């Protein structure tokens, strides 16, 4: 059941999550998670693997259907649990079209060129005319610095380029929010910078974003809020710099001690 | 030493050609029908509903795990008695061979679909596609590429399986050559010629399949 009585969010929040629960079999992955993201806000989700951060991200666009609680993005709210009806596939699809998602393993469509990958959403989902969609797609590819790769197939691109195409593909849907699921975890270290640079620019343009990441220095730089999760609960939450520089919980301190907290961003050598 | 005399077959040329025409035509029918059954079978086994999955699986295993010769005879002799459905030998054998082929096709189609990484349909869903849209636009185009070699292979087997319809007196190439063999007392020449005819059609086909496989592998 949804639980909307304790309204701690500002009216302006873009994403509002209340009492979210999810189990896979007997494994309870999310235990009563609540979360708000302000319009234009950037929230970084960090935590050890198995902490539930990726599942939480996938619950925001309902790629994973929660067992209980509620999810609101913009004006669309879904409640889950006893008594809540499961939404039909069309309602879900329409909702997902307003959120962009970038995956750890890119998930580009290998049978389409870069341009076709970016056009696919606008044409198939938004029913946009092909010429308009192509104009939009070329603009998005230019934005991630890959205009000249439009006619190449994903197999010919580097990991960093693939991920930038994936970002362009998500942006072509002109989403209200962007979700990043460990977008740089599958990349060679020297390719991380170019993807982070694109995400950082999106943040500066005021895109609302939730970023699951292991790049602590990047999170400190780009996110305004940071959430540390462990074992399906939010352990610590606050301003990104404050949590990283001065963690209050022992678990957060222990986790952060695995990273060099120099605050420096990886070099954006191949960035556009 | 046996004295070969292939010249004798010339007088049966129209009989052979007739039979060959029936064999080829029959293959086209059972491949097309089989693919239709296979498509239903594959999507049945991938259904969200358990009852549908169960029906599809039962159909597939029933036809996959019994001999085609038995199925042919059963369709022709048992169905009229059990269900009161009278069928001509051609209808009975077309149905049996299509269902038999369909059971193998469905496994090939199902395997092709599930071999596509889950991330692909997830990416489609994340863009706002319905499951049907992501199946048509994202999964199937990739899956079909992977299925084609196996589907072609199965179709070649189906071509050869048509030789069994002669037991129901369908006048295919094998049936007509039996007629010729009995008439000419030259079974060695007759059946050798039949084997050559099958090979002459299938060898070029297998070469095309192999080339297609290479081209598809290159475009991944």
Distance CA B52, CA B37 (A): 14
pLDDT in tens, B54-93: 999 999 999 999 999 999 999 999 888 888 888 899 999 9
Q: Averaged over A66-74, what is the pLDDT?
A: 93
Q: How many CB atoms lie within 10 A of CB A10?
A: 10
pLDDT band at A266 (very low <50, low <70, confident <90, very high): low
pLDDT tens digits, one per residue of A205-253: 999 999 999 999 899 989 999 999 999 999 999 999 999 999 999 999 9
Interface test with A, best of B118, B126, B144, B217 (most A CBs within 10 A): B126
% of chain A exceeding 70 in pLDDT: 91
For chain A, count helices (H), then strands (E).
Answer: 9, 10
Place of tokens 């029918």: B29
Region A188-194: what's the mean pLDDT?
A: 90
At residue A8, the pLDDT reads 45
Q: Which chain B residues are Cβ-neighbours of A163 within 8 angstroms?
A: none
Question: By three-state DSSP, how is residue A45 classified?
Answer: strand
Percentage of residues in chain B having pLDDT higher than 90: 61
Contact A107 B119 (CB under 8 A): yes
Give the pLDDT score at B203: 93
For residue A58, give the chain B residue with the closest CA: B126
Chain A, nearest residue to B117 by Cα = A107
E strand or H helix at A36: strand A27-38
Q: Taking the model in full, what pTM does it have? A: 0.83
What is the Cα A18 distance to its own chain's centre?
18
Chain A hits for B220, CB-CB cut-off 8 Å, are: 110, 155
- What is the C-alpha separation between B39 and A241, in angstroms, rounded? 56
d(CA A138, CA A128): 14
Separation between Cα atoms, residue B127 and residue A81, nearest integer Å: 25
Query: How confident is the model at residue B220, as a pLDDT?
Result: 54
Q: Is B130 on the interface with A (CB under 8 A)?
A: yes
Quick one: pLDDT at residue A9?
44
Chain A residues within 8 A (CB-CB) of chain B? 61, 63, 89-90, 93-101, 103, 105, 107-111, 120-121, 124-126, 155, 166, 169-170, 173
Interval A55-75 mean pLDDT: 94
User: What average pLDDT does this structure show over A7-32?
Assistant: 84
pLDDT given for residue A59 in this prediction: 95
Mean pLDDT of chain A: 89
End-to-end CA distance of chain B: 56
Q: Which of B116, B124, B128, B134 to mutate to test the interface with A (most CBs of A within 10 A)?
A: B128
pLDDT band at A270 (very low <50, low <70, confident <90, very high): very low
pLDDT of residue B212: 79
Q: How confident is the model over B115-133, as pLDDT tens digits?
A: 999 999 999 999 999 999 9
8 Å CB contact between A62 and A78: yes
pLDDT of A265 strictly over 80: no
**pLDDT tops 90 at residue A5:** no
Distance in Å, alpha carbon of B124 to nearest chain A alpha carbon: 8
Asked whether A103 and B123 are in contact (CB, 8 A), the reply is yes
Residue A3, pLDDT score: 39
Q: What is the mean pLDDT of residues B163-178?
A: 89
What tokens appear for A120 in the block? 């696919």
Contact B131 A98 (CB under 8 A): no
């Amino acid at each position: 059941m949804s639980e909307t009585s304790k309204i701690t969010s500002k009216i302006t929040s873009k994403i509002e999550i209340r009492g979210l629960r999810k189990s896979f079999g007997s494994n309870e992955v999310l235990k009563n998670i609540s979360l708000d993201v302000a319009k234009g806000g950037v929230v970084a989700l960090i935590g050890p693997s198995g902490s539930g951060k990726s599942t939480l991200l996938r619950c925001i666009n309902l790629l994973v259907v929660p067992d209980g609680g509620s999810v609101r993005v913009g004006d669309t709210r879904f409640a889950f649990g006893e008594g809540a009806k499961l939404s039909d596939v069309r309602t879900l699809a329409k909702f997902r079209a307003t959120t962009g998602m970038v995956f750890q393993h890119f998930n580009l469509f290998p049978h389409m060129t870069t341009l076709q990958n970016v056009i696919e959403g606008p044409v198939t989902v938004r029913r946009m005319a092909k010429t308009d969609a192509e104009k939009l797609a070329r603009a998005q590819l230019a934005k991630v610095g890959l205009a000249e790769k439009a006619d190449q197939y994903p197999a010919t691109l580097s990991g960093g380029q693939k991920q930038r195409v994936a970002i362009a593909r998500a942006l072509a849907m002109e989403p209200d929010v962007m979700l990043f699921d460990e977008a740089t975890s599958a990349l060679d270290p020297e390719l991380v910078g170019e993807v982070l640079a694109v995400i950082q620019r999106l943040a500066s343009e005021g895109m609302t974003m939730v970023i699951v990441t292991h790049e602590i220095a990047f999170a400190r730089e780009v996110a305004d809020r940071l959430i540390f999760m462990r074992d399906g609960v939010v352990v610590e939450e606050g301003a990104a710099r404050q949590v990283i520089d001065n963690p209050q919980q022992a678990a957060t301190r222990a986790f952060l001690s695995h990273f060099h907290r120099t605050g420096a961003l990886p070099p954006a050598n191949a960035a556009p | 030493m046996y004295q070969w005399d292939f010249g004798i077959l010339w007088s049966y040329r129209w009989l052979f050609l007739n039979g060959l025409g029936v064999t080829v035509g029959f293959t086209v029918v059972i491949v097309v029908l089989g693919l239709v059954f296979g498509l239903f079978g594959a999507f049945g086994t991938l259904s969200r509903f358990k009852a549908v999955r169960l029906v599809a699986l039962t159909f597939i295993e029933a036809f996959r795990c019994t001999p085609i010769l038995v199925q042919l005879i059963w369709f022709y002799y048992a169905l009229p008695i059990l269900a009161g459905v009278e069928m001509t030998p051609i209808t009975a054998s077309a149905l049996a061979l299509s269902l038999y082929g369909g059971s193998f096709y469905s496994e090939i189609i199902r395997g092709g679909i599930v071999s596509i990484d889950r991330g692909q349909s997830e990416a489609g869903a994340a863009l706002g596609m319905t499951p049907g849209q992501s199946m048509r636009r994202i999964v199937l185009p990739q899956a079909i590429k992977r299925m084609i070699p196996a589907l072609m292979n199965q179709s070649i087997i189906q071509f050869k399986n048509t030789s069994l319809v002669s037991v129901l007196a369908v006048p295919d190439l094998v049936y007509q050559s039996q007629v010729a063999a009995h008439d000419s007392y030259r079974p060695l020449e007759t059946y050798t010629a039949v084997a050559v005819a099958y090979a002459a059609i299938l060898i070029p086909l297998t070469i095309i399949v192999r080339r297609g496989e290479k081209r598809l592998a290159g475009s991944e």
